[in-house]
Structure 1
Amino acid sequence: MSDSQDIFAAGGVDAPEQPAPGAAQPYRVLARKYRPSKFSELIGQDAMVQTLANAIKRDRLAHAFLMTGVRGVGKTSTARLIAKALNCIGEDGQGGPTIDPCGQCEPCRSIAEGSFIDVIEMDAASHTGVDDVREIIEAVRYSSVSARYKIYIIDEVHMLSKNAFNALLKTLEEPPPHVKFIFATTEVNKVPITVLSRCQRFDLKRISAEQLSAHFGMIVEKEGVTAEQEALDLIAQAAEGSVRDGLSILDQAIAHADMDGDGQVKAVQIRDMLGLSDRSAVRRLFAKLLEGDSAALLDAISEQYKIGVEPLSLMNGLLSLSHQVTLFKVGRASDPTLSDSAKQQFADWSEQLSYPVLHRLWQLLLKGYQEVQQAHLPREACEMALLRVLCAGDMPDPGKLAKMLEQNGSVTASTATMQEAAPPPPQAAPVAQTTPLAPAPAPTETPEPQAGALPNDFSEVVKAVGRVSAVLESILIADMRLISLDAPNVIYQPVRAIGDSDIRKITEALRQETGRDWKFTEGQGEAQPSLVEREQQIRDAERQAILDAPLVKAAFEAFPDAVLLEDEDSRPQESRSA
């Protein structure tokens, strides 16, 4: 018995249990445990690694690097690897900068542990001010303590204030030879261009689902866990290109699998854990949409809702499915996780569905997704959106509608009816080809009045004034309703108030044109429409005649939300300018 145990025994107290030798270390999450320790373990960033390797070999190292990309693609890990690569001295202590650091020398081990004095990591989110940058500026003047380079790693650099960025500019442009800066950010658009121009920028890409799935398979093997390939594929898809997100989900999935007792990560568990819809169930739901079976469609939605699938996830799955079918149709299918039966089903759908139908399906599903996203009742919004898609499937596209009408002999009859009941479309109508300053088109052009003769029609009065002033002409066209014309006397009713000065100018213009004094008098009684109002009446009649045509009626019955558009060039000048 040791002396310490004797002391406890003498006092009548049991000695505390001694910790077992080699006790287990605190658990580290997978995202930290499998952080890359060398560039060969950094997946999906081959172009950046090659650039850095060439720069090191040729001794063309930049003084500042900027790593940008979405969360979890390896920005901070890459910064630490660069710090290792630049400060590695090799196992024999004689090595230089290398793209393949040994991981055994003091700098490599200390950087990995985060305790190396010459590699300073700073979180810009909590050190945003000028004072924090001033400390860096003052410290860079001193050489490194034991390393080849003093390296500053500033994470989330976009969080620095404007003044802090400005304070750093001079040092960043001309740092001492022993100093390197490495910045990391997820929002590079917030970094001033003056900083970007002083850095060598690397855009880290999202990791593909195939690479993530293979990476997770290697990790579960190292962890002594088995996993279904479909489960790993689901995790890789849910990670959305982020290694850290995927490892966090995998960590949770392994814990969930252990609760079941067999230790295997299964796809059904991943779906339950993440609230994902079963891909085969989504395909069945898609088939119900195409079949037009509303009762089966609602039952399928209810079934998915009961097992915990969120309506938004269901809409997202249908959108993805619609996109995949379209890719199959253009011959660009690229999802290696699909089973043979799923590929065959996609191929069949791609043959059955035309491009217009697929486009319409995508638009309707996208609209439904937005509605479900904003709805207070997501399930009800999902059902209504999918029922709308189902009803839209019964509507023929314009091409098929035209063929149906043609086969029934409706096109010829409708065309003849339109020719009898309606004038040409707006773009070919006589109104569109005459100047908007003229009255309603007449079968023949009114001849110009002879010199000295008085105009006997109001349109001639308008033309005479127009030869002097376009402004005065517009007043006659838009603001004057004619009651009677007995040249040179005009009795009118104003659409809106016309100033006395304008009337004097109009009469003066007519005196110049006709050599006679004219008199305009505001009166009461039945008045004709103004020239603008008369033109609009003609256009309304033309539009109604088109809408009453059988072919157009059939089109509106097939497409209730359709709108008859008007050619911009055919609108009256007054309405366009307004």
Structure 2
Amino acid sequence: MDDSADDEPTMPGMDLPETPAPAASSGPYRVLARKYRPQTFAELIGQDAMVKTLGNAIARDRLAHAFLMTGVRGVGKTSTARLIAKALNCIGPDGQGGPTIDPCGVCEPCRAITEGRHIDVIEMDAASNTGVDDVREIIEAVRYAAVSARYKIYIIDEVHMLSRNAFNALLKTLEEPPPHVKFLFATTEVNKVPVTVLSRCQRFDLRRITPDMLFAHFSAILQKEGVEAEAPAIWLIANAAEGSVRDGLSILDQAIAHADLDGGGRIGADQVRTMLGLSDRTAIAQLMAAILEGDSGGAIDLARAQYALGIEPVAMVRGLMDLTHAVTLAKVSRHDDPALAASDRERIGDWAKKLGFAPLNRLWQLLLKGHDEVLRATNPLEHLEMLLLRVIYAASLPDPGELAKLLESGGVPAMPLGAPPAPTGRESAAAAGPVPESAETPASALTIAQIHQLLESTGHHQLARQVYDDLKLVELEPGLLVYAPVPALDGDFARRLGEALLAQTGSRWQVRSGEGEGRPSLGQMRAAKLADNESRIRELPVVKAALAAFPDARLVEDDANHQRLNP
């Protein structure tokens, strides 16, 4: 009997799976931001002006002793400092080269600087070394010549973090350093760097990288990585980077991992949108349509549906702001977002044709104010719903100038002020009718309003005020005026009014108090009419919407005795 295991029968179900050989390790994974850090000035995207200036300075041997790179995060400040260090210390493949804007990358100084091990290129993080003692170490070391390089170079990152004493200690050395020393500073907050330091440096403002440059850069990296991606997905990442290459590469790293798990290795726009927590464009477009159509219930339902899917209310507000911005730019033919689908472009174009600049501007202002409210809210969904209602009722309102024109032209019905005017000068004359041309006006031609105006125009101001405010007419006939007794009209009132009417009309008047309550005075009739007008004006749809959008607004009377909304 053969003892060989190969000859032994195998029991069904006991076959062991073959274990694959472990893949050869290629070392720890390096994130894209480190893996694709620019190693030459040609790889530094978006900074052509600075590269040209440095190239000319190197070619003419007019190198400053200190450089300051400033700009937003991730645009290449530290990378630029390292490239300058390589450019100044490169000796070429044959070891005979001098400073060059195109360092070879193969000589020992270039390789050592790239690997961060060059003894004469010292990098310091000012956020961790802020004190004057750290700067004193630099001051002591600059006296000694470089060990193996052409220049001893100090790269200080986030230099604005140095303390005031540290800056002061550095000033003299920075102004007159030894010829073998160069200082390279990088900062995101140049306004915090003392002007005494700025004046001693050659400053380079690194620009934000445009979305189209980022799109091309990320597309090339994806090709090198062997990862497929939809163009709209890359555009979304480029826009989300906000001009920062490092931020964009971090997002791209995350998108690749997300695609590996969920997208079969292909980066899709929907996956990127979900990953970034962006609201769905289609849902935002539907929400915008509901706002423009005044469908308050539909808008709230759409917002709640998005919230249930995990979209934050503030992201929905941002989506509406982005869409409003896109429509406004489309009106001036300046909107070009490659990440948009053809249907989205068509929708934006249609809205741009239908909406004017004034409604779009009001919509933007309402959303901008609401964005901060939703962002700070303890219950963001409730604030979003209130914001949507406010926008629906206020975005399509005419501005105050347009509203005034509508009231004057009859576009919004103006309420007639049938009541007599206030008892003052021209205003009294306008409401009472034509002023009598002669002092002796027939008594039969006078109404109570004309009597009031006649008294006012002839200097009987006290009598005119009493007639307007307190006189409740019981009977008025030619030569007879009977009024209801009120405490404000003393016993001498009837005599004084009769004498004034005799003097102005040439006819004798019988003026006395009678029985009954009488009709309301001129002032009471006017107040009642104004209240009725205000009530009817408040019922106008345009005014109701304005008051709903601006609760603190009130109705006031202007000089022409018309009423209009005054925020």
- TM-score over 0.5 for the pair: yes
Q: Deviations over 1:256-314 (max 9, x none)?
A: 11113621111111122221112232222111111112232122212222222211111
Q: Is the 8 A contact 1:546 1:552 kept in 2?
A: no
Contact 1:298–1:383 (CA<8 Å) still a contact in 2? yes
Instruction: Report what 2:496 is aligned to.
Output: none
Q: CA deviation at 1:243?
A: 0.9
Provide structure 2 residue ranges, at least 5 long, that are not aligned to the other structure.
Answer: 1-20, 428-455, 461-525, 559-567
After superposition, the CA RMSD in angstroms is: 3.1
Contact in 2 for aligned 1:422/1:546 (Cα 8 Å): no
Pairs within 5 Å for 1:49-448: 49-260=51-262, 262-393=264-395, 395-398=397-400, 399=402, 402-403=405-406, 406-407=409-410, 410-411=413-414, 414=416, 420-421=421-422
Question: Distance in 2 between the 1:21 and 1:285 partners?
Answer: 51
Evaluate the alpha carbon distance shift between residue 336 and residue 273 of structure 1 in structure 2; reply closer, same or farther with a 3 A threshold.
closer
Deviations 1:396-422 (A, max 9, x none): 4442564366337955x74x6598348
State the one-letter code of the partner of 1:31: A
Q: Which residue pairs with 1:492 in the alignment?
A: none
Q: Relative to structure 1, is the Cα distance of residues 261 and 368 closer, same or farther in structure 2, using a 3 angstrom cutoff?
A: closer
Equivalent residue for 2:445?
A: none
Structure 1 residues 556 and 340, CA gap change in structure 2 (3 angstroms): closer
1:93-135 CA distance string (max 9 Å, x none): 1111111111111111100000011100001111111111011
Distance 1:175 1:379, change over 3 A: same
Q: d(CA) in 1 for partners of 2:424 and 2:337?
A: 55
What's the CA shift for 1:161?
Answer: 0.6
* Cα pair 2:425 2:457 within 8 Å, conserved: no
1:50–1:20 CA distance, 2 compared to 1 (3 A): same
For 1:185 and 1:321, how far apart are their aligned partners in 2?
34
2:410 corresponds to which letter in structure 1? Q
Give the number of equivalent residue pairs: 438
In structure 1, C-alpha distance between the alignment counterparts of 2:307 and 2:129, rounded to whole Å: 46
For each residue in 1:170-201, what CA deviation from the matched residue of structure 2 results, as whole angstroms up to 9, or x when unmatched?
A: 00001111110000111111111100111111
CA distance in structure 1 between the aligned counterparts of 2:527 and 2:49, rounded to whole angstroms: 62
Aligned-pair CA distance for 1:391: 2.2
Asked if structure 1 preserves the Cα contact closer than 8 Å seen for 2:394 and 2:545, the reply is no
Q: Separation in 1 of the partners of 2:344 and 2:457?
A: 67
Task: Report the CA distance shift for 1:425/1:208 in structure 2 as closer, same or farther (over 3 A).
Answer: farther
Alignment-mate amino acid for residue 86 of structure 1: L
Partner residue of 2:504? Answer: none
The alignment-based identity, stated in percent, is: 63
Post-superposition Cα deviations, 1:466-521, rounded to whole Å, max 9, x if no partner, equal xxxxxxxxxxxxxxxxxxxxxxxxxxxxxxxxxxxxxxxxxxxxxxxxxxxxxxxx
Q: What amino acid does structure 1 have at the position aligned with 2:68?
A: L
Q: TM-score, normalised by structure 2?
A: 0.71
Q: Which amino acid aligns with 2:124?
A: M
- Separation in 2 of the partners of 1:546 and 1:48? 70
> Structure 1 residues 566, 149: CA separation in 2 closer, same or farther (over 3 Å shift)?
farther
Give 3-state SS (helix, strand or coil) of 1:122's partner: strand
SS in 2 for 1:201: strand
CA distance in 2, matches of 1:425, 1:273: 70
* Offset of residue 46 of structure 1: 1.4
Compute the TM-score of the two structures, normalised by the length of structure 1: 0.70
Shift in CA distance, 103/295, structure 1 to aligned 2, threshold 3 Å:
same
The CA deviation at 1:317 is 1.1
The answer for the alignment partner of 1:489 in structure 2 is none
The letter for the 1-side match of 2:235 is: D
What secondary structure, in the 3-state scheme, does the structure 1 residue paired with 2:324 have?
helix
Q: Indicate the SS of the match to 1:420.
A: coil
Q: Judging changes above 3 Å, is the alpha-carbon distance between structure 1 residues 299 and 94 closer, same or farther for their aligned structure 2 residues?
A: same
The residue type equivalent to 1:216 in the other structure is F
**Matched residue, 1:495:** none
Q: Distance in 1 between matches of 2:421 and 2:31?
A: 80
Rate the CA distance shift 1:372–1:207 in 2: closer, same or farther, 3 A.
same
Letter aligned with residue 406 of structure 1: S
Question: 1:444 and 1:258 mapped to 2: Cα distance?
Answer: 95
1:559 aligns with 2:546: yes
Contact 1:53 1:99 in 2 (8 A): yes
Alignment of 1:35-50 (within 5 A): 35-50=37-52
After superposition, what is the alpha-carbon deviation per residue over 1:346-372, rounded to whole angstroms, capped at 9, x for unaligned? 221112111221111111111211111
Aligned amino acid, residue 119 of structure 1: V
Q: Which is worse superposed, 169-178 or 44-53?
A: 44-53
Q: Which runs of 5+ in 1 are unaligned?
A: 1-18, 427-441, 447-541, 568-578
Q: Which residue of 1 aligns with 2:497?
A: none
Q: Could you tell me whether the CA contact under 8 Å between 1:421 and 1:545 is conserved in 2?
A: no
Q: What letter corresponds to residue 332 of structure 2 in structure 1? A: V
Residues of 1 paired with 2:283 and 2:189: CA distance? Answer: 37
1:184 aligns to what SS in structure 2?
strand
In the superposition, relative to structure 1, how do residues 547 and 119 fare at CA in structure 2: closer, same or farther (>3 Å)?
A: farther
- Residues 444-455 of structure 1: matches in 2 within 5 Å? none
Which residue pairs with 1:30 in the alignment? 32
Alignment partners' CA distance in 2, 1:192 and 1:109: 35
Q: Secondary structure at the match of 2:421?
A: helix
Specify the SS of the correspondent of 2:288. helix
User: How much has 1:227 moved relative to structure 2?
Assistant: 0.7
Quick one: distance in 1 between partners of 2:346 and 2:388? 24
